[in-house]
Amino acid sequence: EKALEVANDSEFGLSSTIYTKDLAKAMHFVKHIETGVTHVNIPSNYFENQFPFGGKKASSLGPREQGSTALEFWTEYKTV
């Protein structure tokens, strides 16, 4: 709880990581952390192109419609 309080007190919220063997603690962290990307048991020094990338609060470079999800977001399909 203290770690969540400290992390969520920041004006930024780009990404976060939790290292734990306790699945309940990991899920609690994921549900309550105020970041755009959360990793469990891996470092948060990268992002995955197939997922929307963006932060919360004063973080990020724009909307989450970036990366490979932008193609899907901005595409209108038409059957010919």
pTM score, whole prediction = 0.69
Confidence at residue 6, expressed as pLDDT on a 0 to 100 scale? 95
Q: Which CATH number fits domain 2-74: 1.10.540.10, 2.60.40.10, 3.40.309.10, 3.40.30.10?
A: 3.40.309.10
Confidence at residue 44, expressed as pLDDT on a 0 to 100 scale? 78
- Residue 66, pLDDT > 90, answer no
Q: State mean pLDDT over 8-32.
A: 94
Query: What is the residue-averaged pLDDT of the chain?
Result: 82
Q: How many CB atoms lie within 10 A of CB 3?
A: 11
* CA dihedral for 7, 47, 52, 42, sign (positive or negative): negative
Q: Which residue has the higher pLDDT, 76 or 19?
A: 19
